[in-house]
Copies of this chain bind each other. A is one copy, B any other.
Amino acid sequence: MSTEICPLEWRYGSKEMRKLFTREEIMKRRLEVEVAIAYGLAKAGIVEEWVPEKIKEAVHKVEVSRVDELEAKLGHDIMALATALAEKSGEAGKYVHLGATSYDIVDTAWSLIIRDALKIIEEKTIKVISKLIEYSKKYKNTIMVGRTHGQHAVPITLGFKFANYVYEFTRSLERIHEMEKRLIKSKISGAVGNMASWKDKGLIVEGEASRILELKPHEISTQIAPRDGFAELASNIAILGSQLDRLALEVRELMRPEIGELAEGVGGRVGSSTMPQKTNPVTSEKICGLAKVLRSMVIVALENIPLWHERDLTNSSSERFLISHTILTLDEMLDSMMEVLENLIVNVDNMKRNLEITKGTIMSENVLMKLVEKGMSRTEAHEILREITRKALLEKIEFKDALIQDNRIMKLLKKEEIEELLKPENYLGETEKLIERTIRYAEETISKITTK
Of residues 244 through 283 on chain A, the ones whose CB sits less than 8 Å from some CB of chain B are: 245-246, 249-250, 252-253, 255-259, 267-282
Q: Is the CB of B192 within 8 A of A146?
A: yes
**Bound CA–CA A190/B377 (angstroms):** 18
Nearest 7 A/B pairs, CB to CB: A94-B377, A6-B6, A277-B389, A196-B429, A75-B269, A276-B385, A289-B317
Check A14 for interface membership: any CB of B closer than 8 A.
no
Query: How far, in Å, is A191 (CB) from chain B's closest CB?
Result: 5
A336 nearest CB neighbor, chain B only:
B317
Contact A318 B300 (CB under 8 A): no
Q: A305-B242, A377-B86, A378-B96 are in contact. Are A321 and B325 (CB under 8 A)?
A: yes
Selected contact of A282 from candidates B219, B269, B313, CB within 8 Å: B313
28 A–B pairs (Cβ distance < 8 Å), ordered by A = A102-B273, A148-B312, A149-B271, A150-B309, A163-B220, A164-B221, A164-B222, A168-B226, A191-B272, A194-B430, A196-B427, A196-B429, A197-B429, A220-B434, A228-B243, A231-B238, A232-B239, A239-B305, A276-B388, A277-B386, A277-B399, A285-B317, A286-B313, A289-B316, A291-B306, A292-B318, A293-B321, A303-B303
Which one of A21, A93, A175, A272 has the greatest number of beta carbons of chain B within 10 Å? A272
A338–B291 CA distance with the chains assembled, in angstroms: 31
Q: Which residues of B contact A298 (CB under 8 A)?
A: 235, 296, 298-299, 302
A182-220 to B contact mask, C-beta < 8 Å, 1/0: 100000011111111111101100000000000000111
Contact A310 B156 (CB under 8 A): yes
Q: Is the CB of A22 within 8 A of B5?
A: yes
Given contacts A149-B278, A270-B75, A292-B303, contact A5 B3 (CB under 8 A): no
* Chain A positions 409-435 with a Cβ under 8 Å from a chain B Cβ: 427-431, 433-435
- Chain B residues whose C-beta falls within 8 Å of the C-beta of A147 in the assembled complex: 308-310
Given contacts A74-B268, A152-B257, contact A24 B2 (CB under 8 A): yes
How far is A368 from B270 in the complex, measured between Cα atoms in Å? Answer: 15
List chain B residues, Cβ under 8 A from A115: none
